[in-house]
A and B are shown apart, each in its own frame.
Chain A
Amino acid sequence: MIAHIKFADNSKFECTMEEGKRWSQAPANKKIKQVVFVLPDGNCLVLRAFELYNLLIEVTQDIRPIPKRKAEYLYAMGMKNNRVTSYRISLQEYPNSRHRIGDFTRREFEFGKEYNGGSVTGWKGVCNGTV
């Protein structure tokens, strides 16, 4: 399980990568109380008091012999007042990188520019009555 959503009506959704339990398949029109993101090292990152929440997995696929597709980062995001707080969690380690698996980097963006200067899909929660 990589994320645990608790809605304002106390219902819950456990997010895994299995069909039917992916983040994109979580209810999209319910106010969220908090989201607990499970980090690769077993610790948890809890986001609450945001209007919208999102979970992304960033993947690379090299066009060359080996390696295989790699999950590079997990992004846990919260949006409030058109500001996105983004936590990028490292899923890979490289010799010339200072980041280790499980390290996270906190950044803030204007809503709509939260990933590579652009927007992402998959936001959950309620924003001024709509999603």
Chain B
Amino acid sequence: MSTSVTIYVNTTPNTGGGQDRASVPGNYLGLDLANDKFYFTSGSSAVADGQDEPTTAELNEAATLIESTAVEVPKLIALDKSADLLYEIDGAGSGDDRHVICIAFDGATASIPTLEAWDDSSHSTATIHTLGNGTPANSWIYAVKTTDASPGSSWSGTRIAGTNKLDLDTAPLTGAKDLYFNIYVKIPASYSTGANETPVLTIRYTYN
């Protein structure tokens, strides 16, 4: 069999040491990659933990406003499509949170797995505003590997877009292993263009 991955999110505010998936599996929701999705949002009464799938109008009302200073989008919310239920990922953000998003590999890899961000599933361009409008170093998406340690408060990590990618470990995996990362979106100050964009987050790895 080939190596495959399952993605889990910690749906509780408990993200420190000892809060990994192996220790507290009940804190984690496995994503159905055919149906589930993430929302980076300011939230609202309709776009909140425990609510059902929001409409487009509800998502627009919960959008983050552009301000005169850079603003971190306050919330990451996961939609469990099968249950029609939203879960706020409390630990997602620039705080000192370690066990937030878990990438569970069921076997070895031949190279270090990476987290990437692209315009779409062709993984060929990264030109939308969220990904730096053609300059990967200006990506709004910040990610940090937390497999081995907490990221510290106010972390900046790696701005992922296109070939600006995040290594999820320090060496190829020798067997099944859970890798962790944290993530947030920060909108630049006074950005001149509002947008409703859907960048694609991708896990890339090799096996043999």
Contacts and interface: CB of A to CB of B under 8 A. Distances in A.
- Same complex origin of A and B: yes
A44 B155 CA distance: 49
Nearest to B38: A63
A122 B208 contact: yes
B33 A61 contact: yes
Contacts of A18: 1
Given A55-B208, A62-B121, A68 B203 contact: no
A64 B37 CA distance: 5
Given A65-B33, A65-B34, A60 B123 contact: yes
A124 B205 CA distance: 20
Contacts of B5: 61, 69
Interface residues of A, number: 36
A67 interface: yes
Contacts of A96: 122, 124-125
A70 B124 CA distance: 14
Contact of B208 (A57, A62, A116): A57
B55 to A, nearest CB: 17
Contacts, number: 111
Given A96-B124, A122-B110, A62 B202 contact: yes
Interface in B1-28: 1-5, 7
Contacts of B208: 22-24, 54-57, 120-122
Interface of A: 17-19, 22-24, 54-70, 72, 75, 94-97, 115-116, 118-122
29 contacts: A19-B1, A22-B2, A54-B110, A56-B206, A57-B208, A58-B204, A58-B206, A59-B206, A61-B4, A61-B5, A62-B201, A63-B31, A63-B38, A64-B38, A64-B200, A69-B4, A69-B5, A94-B122, A95-B122, A97-B122, A115-B206, A116-B111, A116-B112, A116-B114, A118-B112, A120-B208, A121-B108, A121-B172, A122-B208
Interface of B: 1-5, 7, 31, 33-38, 81, 108-112, 114, 121-125, 172, 198, 200-208
